[in-house]
Amino acid sequence: MSSSDQLIPNHLGSLTDSAIAVMTPFASGLQARWIAGFYYYTSSKFRQKDGADWIEQGPGIGLGAFERKSIGRQNIHMVNGLEFIIQIPIEIWNKAPRGFIDIDPNKKTQFILS
């Protein structure tokens, strides 16, 4: 991770039960050198199954794996015994009314700030 990446400290933010349910099988399947992480992206595209044109989805929150050795303990969150990080610019994070990552079933990205 570069110094410009913004990790949310572990005393801020959490996940709703719905987000935990989605993260758990992903995080449980990672090898020890990796840690699950929620990250912010400014743009994404997808195609429908029929192979039609690309559809711009805009910004959102994704779930990925990050190399554990590059993460400080102060940035590792824990829920239900699973460790994860939140890599979201603080100016975006501060717009979360409750300080949670949640599921939005109406969006392809699935994750939203709430």
- Three-state DSSP at 24 gives helix
- Structure tokens that stand for 102 in this block: 């949640």
Does domain 14-113 fall into CATH 3.40.50? no
Task: Give residue limits of the domains in the chain.
Answer: 14-113
Of 63, 54, 61, 57, nearest to 25 by C-alpha is 63
pLDDT by residue (tens digit) across 29-50?
Answer: 999 999 999 999 988 777 777 7
pLDDT by residue (tens digit) across 54-87?
Answer: 878 788 899 999 999 989 999 999 998 899 999 9
- Structure tokens that stand for 73 in this block: 């303990």
